[in-house]
């Protein structure tokens, strides 16, 4: 049948038609093109029909506007307004041209054909959102007049209380969501169910999970009937759970469906044979591959594509009638965390670097592309769900790589180390790991060179090298700030690429890396020896107090002193407590309070030195304290709440004395052991190394964050130019672009 203005047959639906046919309709259009997959015939009543009906519905726009002004927790008013909207849609006149098209499409399916009528919203079945079950579905409709009534009911169901509340909670505009209606020929099956091409419980993409029950799938979906479950992996059924099935959904003669008791001989019988489960799993994989290929074709080209994950695990509705499988629907599984893309089918083990850095939030595309540039000479970083992952598969297989990972992650995250220790005991798991992901091997020669440099610094025992490294890094930051002062356009992006390479060279200066190697070595020596000789592995904690040259500690000390000042002015303190829950310009509004000018002065001095930092600072797109100084308020108030009035200098000196006392205590205890004098000399040397180098461990990250602030200021200046030219709406829109 020739397509009209208000309907499209499944075979006429293109991937660009989402706004016309909604998520369910679009997926059926795609499914109808999959070779070897049977999809019952049907058509979509497009959103153009809904929009025309909505335009004719009395006072509909006023009621939707009222609905948009409500809060999600105002359930009583939502229910009342939504009911008014549904009534208006159900009673709006249907133009003759729309009615004629719907009837003609139905007639083309065949005389007396039963159809299913399903809602298909333009915001459903999208990545990150699941609108399943929020709008109406009607089964076994066999009269054209009733079909028209059910289409109206579907349109109205766009404003069920549940659908409205969900859109409110997830930020979808009621005025921008439209609804299509899917009309599909009914198949009356012997067996039906749901297939997941990834295990919905474990997330394992290698396992197909199949739920199956006798009769129509409606009883399974509603939860009124139990299902058999089959799990398929690598071409074989690995597990089956056969349930007792007491009822099944069946069509009624007059239309609709009903639940009926199953004969006793069927109640414990498997719904599918193993061969049928394998055939169905193969169909699921074929559909999944088709969606993957379609997504690959439609993916826009980008200079850096490692940050993008294209996955297509599917949630598939199916039925079996007279020995033939039919596919009724397929949608993406939106509850699975996406996986990084790989170049092989082997097992991969990833570590979330954001979690190691105590940053669990997603990283925006601009932040991701910065990391890709930083490490491109060493290997590929993997990204999924806006998080940064390190593929450690190959390293975990090798002796040296495994030892390095255990030591490195053991110091950063004891839980992670415990997980790795359990995994490496599973020989089959380790054997099947991919040969990709060899970061340790790529750094091996550099690590060896840095260790040699560390040995030379240890033997020289001249810790003025730390001051020289600090001075050199400060000089690099000043030069970088100057380089980016007046650069724009393509020249800015060329300079960014060049300067990030320079920054990486600066961060891996032999002396800097030698100090970091000594930090690791001295930590391990002190912890291991104090545990072995004295049974006191925790001594390292006391020895770590008040070490010099730690930028993070210095920042904390300055913030502590600000808190002491704030605590002396009740009016400032009241203002800060109120400002936690109100939008305020902290520095501007602070000045009007008693003691405010003094507090503002110290805050401005703090921001001048540390304002480039923030929570989640390894993501360049995160707002810095200079951009959002209000983020400091909780930290200041937390310090004030301790009621400790000791200055940061006094606290630092107290910590230094405690560290010195611990060093003397260790020496006194070691002296009593066999070979005590030699052990004391060794311990004193390593404690001296630890005290001199451990503060420096924070310097490379500080320099990277300071450099990121220089880059971000230049990029925001460029974004402001694009806003002025009308290319971007807001400067921050640039965060959703890659370099």
Q: Return the percentage of the chain with pLDDT > 90, whole number.
A: 58
pLDDT for residue 124 is more than 70:
no
Check residue 310 and give its pLDDT.
56
Cβ atoms < 10 Å from Cβ of 152: 18
Q: Which residue has the higher pLDDT, 301 or 311?
A: 311
More confident residue, 99 or 360: 99
pLDDT, average across residues 112-125: 81
* CA angle (518 as vertex; 513, 524 as ends), nearest 5: 135
Q: How many angstroms separate the CA atoms of 540 and 528, rounded?
A: 10
Per-residue model confidence as pLDDT tens digits over 566-586: 999 999 999 999 887 777 888
Residue range 192-200: average pLDDT? 94
Exposure of 159 by Cβ count < 10 A (0-12 exposed, 13-18 middle, 19+ buried)?
A: buried
Name which residue leads in pLDDT, 234 or 253. Answer: 234
Name which residue leads in pLDDT, 182 or 585.
Answer: 182
Q: How far is CA 339 from CA 39, 92, 307, 679, 731, in A?
A: 29, 47, 11, 50, 30
Q: In whole angstroms, give the CA distance from residue 700 to residue 222.
A: 57
DSSP assignment of 146-183: HHHHHHHHHHHGGG-HHHHHHHHHHT--GGG--EEEEE
10 Å Cβ neighbour count for 101?
A: 21
Residue spans of alpha helices (H) in 184-248: 218-222
pLDDT in tens, 455-504: 999 999 999 999 999 999 999 999 999 999 989 999 999 999 999 999 98
105 compared with 217, residue with greater pLDDT: 105
- Please answer whether residues 38 and 325 qualify as being in contact, where contact means their C-beta atoms are separated by less than 8 angstroms: yes
Cα distance between residue 270 and residue 213, in whole Å: 9
Mean pLDDT of the chain: 88
Q: Give 215's DSSP letter.
A: B
């Amino acid at each position: 049948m020739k397509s009209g203005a208000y309907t499209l047959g499944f075979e006429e639906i293109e991937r660009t038609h989402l706004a016309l046919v909604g998520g369910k309709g679009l997926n059926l259009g795609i499914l109808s093109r999959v070779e070897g997959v049977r999809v019952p015939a049907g058509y979509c009543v497009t959103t153009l029909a809904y929009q025309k009906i909505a335009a004719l519905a009395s006072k509909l726009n006023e009621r939707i506007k009222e609905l948009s002004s409500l809060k999600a927790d105002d359930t009583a008013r939502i229910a009342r307004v939504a009911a008014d909207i549904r009534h208006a849609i159900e009673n709006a006149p249907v133009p003759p041209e729309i009615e004629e098209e719907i009837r003609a499409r139905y007639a083309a399916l065949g005389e007396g054909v039963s159809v299913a009528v399903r809602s298909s919203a333009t915001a459903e079945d999208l990545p990150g959102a699941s609108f399943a079950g929020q709008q109406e579905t009607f089964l076994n409709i066999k009269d054209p007049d009733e079909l028209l009534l059910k289409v109206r009911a579907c349109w109205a169901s766009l404003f069920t209380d549940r659908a409205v509340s969900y859109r409110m909670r997830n930020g979808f505009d009621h005025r921008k969501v439209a609804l299509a209606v899917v009309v599909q020929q009914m198949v009356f099956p012997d067996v039906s169910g749901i297939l997941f091409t990834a295990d919905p419980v474990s997330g394992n993409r290698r396992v197909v999970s199949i739920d199956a029950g006798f009769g129509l799938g409606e009883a399974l979906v509603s939860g009124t009937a139990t299902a058999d479950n089959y799990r398929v992996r690598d071409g074989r059924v690995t597990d089956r759970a056969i349930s007792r099935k007491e009822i099944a959904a069946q069509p009624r003669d007059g239309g609709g469906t009903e639940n009926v008791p199953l004969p006793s001989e069927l109640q414990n019988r498997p719904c599918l044979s193993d061969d049928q489960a394998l055939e169905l799993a193969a169909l699921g994989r074929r559909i999944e591959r088709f969606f993957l290929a379609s997504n690959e074709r439609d993916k826009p080209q980008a200079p850096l594509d490692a940050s993008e994950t294209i996955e297509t695990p599917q949630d598939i509705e199916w039925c079996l009638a007279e020995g033939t499988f039919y596919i009724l629907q397929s949608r993406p599984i939106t509850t699975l965390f996406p996986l990084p893309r790989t170049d092989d089918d082997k097992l991969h083990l990833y570590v979330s670097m954001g979690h190691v850095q105590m940053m669990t939030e997603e990283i925006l595309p601009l932040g991701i592309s910065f990391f890709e540039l930083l490490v491109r000479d060493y290997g590929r970083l993997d990204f999924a769900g806006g998080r940064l992952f390190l593929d450690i598969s190959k390293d975990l297989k090798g002796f040296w790589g495994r030892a390095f990972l255990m030591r490195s992650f053991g110091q950063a995250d004891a839980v992670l180390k415990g997980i790795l220790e359990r995994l490496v005991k599973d020989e089959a798991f380790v054997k099947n790991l991919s040969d990709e992901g060899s970061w340790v091997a790529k750094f091996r020669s550099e690590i060896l060179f840095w260790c040699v440099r560390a040995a030379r610094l240890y033997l020289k025992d001249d810790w003025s090298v730390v001051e020289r490294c600090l001075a050199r890094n400060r000089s690099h930051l000043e030069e970088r700030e100057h380089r980016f002062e007046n650069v724009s356009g393509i020249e800015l992006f060329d300079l960014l690429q060049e300067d990030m390479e320079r920054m990486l060279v600066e961060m891996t200066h032999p002396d800097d890396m030698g100090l970091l190697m000594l930090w690791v070595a001295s930590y391990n020596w002190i912890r291991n020896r104090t545990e072995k000789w004295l049974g006191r592995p925790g001594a390292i904690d006391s020895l770590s107090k008040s070490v010099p040259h730690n930028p993070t500690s210095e920042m904390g000390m300055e913030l502590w002193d600000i808190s002491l000042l704030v605590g002396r002015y009740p009016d400032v303190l009241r203002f800060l407590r109120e400002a936690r829950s109100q939008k305020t310009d902290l520095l501007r509004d602070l000045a009007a309070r008693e003691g405010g000018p003094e507090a503002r002065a110290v805050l401005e001095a703090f921001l001048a030195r540390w304002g480039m930092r923030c929570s989640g600072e390894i993501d360049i797109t995160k707002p810095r304290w200079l951009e959002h100084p209000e983020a400091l308020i909780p930290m200041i108030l937390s310090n004030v709440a301790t009621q400790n009035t000791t200055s940061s200098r006094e606290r630092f000196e107290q910590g230094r004395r405690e560290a010195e006392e611990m060093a003397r205590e260790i020496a006194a205890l070691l002296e009593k052991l066999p070979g005590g004098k030699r052990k004391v000399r060794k311990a004193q040397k390593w404690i001296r190394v630890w005290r001199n180098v451990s503060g420096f461990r924070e310097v490379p990250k500080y320099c990277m964050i300071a450099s990121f602030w220089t880059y971000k200021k230049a990029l925001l200046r460029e974004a402001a130019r694009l806003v002025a030219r009308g290319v971007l709406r807001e400067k921050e829109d640039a965060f959703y672009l890659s370099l």
